[in-house]
Amino acid sequence: MILKPVSIPKDKRKDFYQSKYDHFKFLVLWVIVISCVIEMTFFVSDCSAALGFSENTLLTRFLIIVPLGIYIFAFKHVSSYKIMVPFSYVMIHACMLSVVWTSYYISNVQNLREGFLVLQLMFLIVGIASPKTYHCVFHALLIADMVLASTFNNFNGIDTLISLDGASLIAICAFEFIFENAYAEMYNIQKKLEDVALHDQLTGAYNRSKLNMMCMEDTSELTLRNAGFILLDINEFKKINESFGHDTGDQIIKELYKIIKICTRGDDVCIRMGGEQFLIIVPNQGLARTKEIGERIRTHVANKKDVPCTFKISVGTTIYKGGDYHVAINLADKALKFAKENDVDLVVAYEDM
């Protein structure tokens, strides 16, 4: 339910807010661009009010194009919500300050009332993509814009305007809290679905889909370089199933995965390729280090005692240096087959064959 608080684990909050920004960032971009363009078109009404070319407001109206250009450049090159969300709010305040500056040169400043209220809608839309705490802080700064407008323009009715903004601030912040809660509920459901789709249900290891996620878009080339590939499987696994049953076979597979987790680092990726075979990708490791990790896993397996039946593994390794990852898997598989043919309890690197 929307009104029921939905919690995001602390270690997932950065990903949550980044996801929220990524989902709505183009909406925010177009709101800011359109707002700035409208701000510049107001120069026409300035000229109409001045009964001629309003040279005093030319700079105040069109100067907004400078921060807008910087914002668009940043939008294309910066993806972090921690930078772009505050920048989005700065752009709204820049529009407001442009109006305040312009009003210094024109006699009729009553349209400032409408301008401040229109800004509420802009804050509402930008707030959809931002953390609720960010929104409350940057929205509250609108009161400072009002005080500034009153200071430079002797604006009458500032107390009434601030009270109206205060009411709007409370209402919009409440909306942002409700909206973020609803998005958090959707985010949690999506993550659960992704977890099911991305992980092997027996062991909890990644499945083959993880390899596609690690690739550059529309290619079979991984985003990393110089990574060790370790391919291993359980020897004579069919006999284990036939002699001890499939439940025992499943238990052996789970025990092997536990050993792999013990012998690898947090940023290493373990993928169950199918059946009793696992692929381990160790980023930024050379051949010697990759073989050492494979040997460590093999030794742990050989010394494992508290299992339904003893088992051994064969290991093949290679180094991925770029290009189609299937090539590296095939090379590791050749090393694995060589290990099986020569000794069923062996680690072989393709480069050493």
Select from 89, 76, 79 the least CA-distant residue to 32: 89
Per-residue tokens: 228 = 């060790």
Residue burial 256-292, b: 16+ Cβ < 10 Å; e: rest: bbebbeebbeeebbbbbbeebbbbbbbbebeeeebbb
CB 90 within 8 A of CB 134: no
3-state helix/strand/coil string of 113-130: HHHHHHHHHHHHHHHCCC
Question: Could you give all domains of the chain from N- to C-terminal order, each with its CATH number?
Answer: 10-197 (no CATH), 209-352 (3.30.70.270)
Residues in contact with 183: Cβ distance below 8 Å, sequence separation at least 6, in sequence order: 20
Task: Tell me the pLDDT of the chain (353 aa) as tens digits.
Answer: 445 777 888 888 899 999 999 999 999 999 999 888 888 888 887 787 777 788 888 888 899 999 999 999 999 999 999 999 999 999 988 888 887 777 777 665 555 556 666 677 888 889 999 998 888 888 888 777 777 767 766 556 567 667 777 788 888 888 888 999 999 989 988 888 888 888 998 999 999 999 988 998 889 999 988 899 999 999 999 999 999 999 999 999 999 999 999 999 888 999 999 899 999 999 988 899 999 999 999 999 988 888 888 899 999 999 999 899 999 999 999 999 999 888 777 899 999 88
